[in-house]
């Protein structure tokens, strides 16, 4: 489905990177996976080692979870484990999941700024495992907290085209969704062309 619909990427479990790479060969669809998932509480060295191994296995993009507990406690020095993952990714795209459902607005802004400072490419709202996912308020907040060369990914709760378009207008450029086919079918049915204004990531449940 992902290859046929030409989505941006497929996000899979770390153990499935090689399989996804084989199945998507020649399609132009990227293989994404996760590091430090889902709570971000593995040690920095483990996150970096996991990232290196996943890139060697064929992952094009790494969605890492920052250390949520350390961010909540104000330990921003520890949250710089983002930089270790960026270095281990060797130039591959790194998206940093904040898990906004557990953060105050101030903590979300801090997480966004730490992400940009560390050299990552995206800030992302959610893992899909927390009580809440992407919201319009959070997308606006995150977009305002980083410079224009950092992109915003909305994940969790993106179940319809209307939601996707609303979040896109607020500044999101990537969308993690399990309802990818339904969203793209709706887009085609509305007669607006073959591709939506921003690209989706087809995800396994919770990714």
Q: Where are the beta strands (DSSP E) in the chain?
A: 9-11, 30-35, 61-65, 93-97, 122-124, 151-155, 174-177, 199-203
Instruction: Calculate the CA dihedral of residues 201, 202, 206, 207 and round it to 10 degrees.
Output: -50
Token pair of 204, please? Answer: 């396994």
**117 has catalytic annotation:** no
Whether the per-residue pLDDT at 6 is higher than 70: the answer is yes
Q: Per CATH, is 2-203 categorized as 3.20.20.70?
A: yes
φ, ψ (nearest 5 deg) of residue 91:
90, -10
Q: How many C-beta atoms surround the C-beta of residue 46 within 10 A?
A: 14
| Residue 206, pLDDT score | 38
For tokens 């795209």, what's the residue?
93
Enclosing H/E stretch for 189 = helix 180-189
124 is catalytic: yes
**pLDDT tens, position by position, 84-142:** 999 999 999 999 999 999 999 999 999 999 999 999 999 999 998 999 899 999 999 99
Residue 71 has pLDDT above 90, yes or no: yes
Q: Which residues of 100-110 are buried (b: 16+ CB within 10 A; e: fewer)?
A: bbbbeeebbbb
pLDDT digits (tens, 9 = 90+) for 134-171: 999 999 999 999 999 999 999 999 999 999 999 999 99
Check 47, 108, 124, 138 and give the catalytic one.
Answer: 124
Q: Which of 47, 95, 108, 153 is catalytic?
A: 153
Kindly tell me the burial class for residue 152, based on how many C-beta atoms sit within 10 Å of its own C-beta (0-12, 13-18, 19 or more): buried
Q: Kindly report the backbone phi and psi dihedral angles of residue 9, in degrees, each rounded to the nearest multiple of 5, phi listed first.
A: -160, 165
63, 81, 95, 138: which is the annotated catalytic residue?
A: 63
């Amino acid at each position: 489905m992902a290859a046929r619909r030409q989505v941006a990427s497929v996000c899979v479990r770390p153990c499935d990177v090689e399989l996804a790479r084989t199945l998507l060969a020649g399609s132009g669809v990227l293989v994404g996976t996760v590091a430090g998932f889902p709570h971000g509480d593995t040690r920095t060295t483990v996150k970096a080692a996991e990232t290196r191994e996943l890139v060697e296995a064929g992952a094009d993009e790494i969605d890492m979870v920052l250390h949520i507990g350390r961010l909540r406690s104000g330990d921003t020095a520890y949250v710089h484990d983002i930089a270790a993952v960026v270095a281990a990714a060797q130039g591959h795209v790194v998206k940093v999941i904040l898990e906004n459902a557990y953060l105050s607005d101030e903590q979300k802004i801090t997480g966004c700024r730490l992400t940009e400072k560390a050299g990552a490419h995206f800030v992302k709202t959610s893992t899909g495992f927390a009580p809440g996912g992407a919201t319009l308020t959070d997308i606006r907040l995150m977009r305002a907290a980083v410079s224009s060369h950092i992109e915003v990914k909305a994940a969790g709760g993106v179940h319809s085209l209307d939601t996707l378009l609303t979040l896109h207008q607020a500044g999101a450029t990537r969308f993690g969704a399990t309802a990818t086919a339904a969203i793209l079918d709706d887009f085609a049915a509305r007669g607006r062309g073959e591709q939506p204004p921003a690209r989706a990531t087809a995800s396994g449940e919770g990714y």
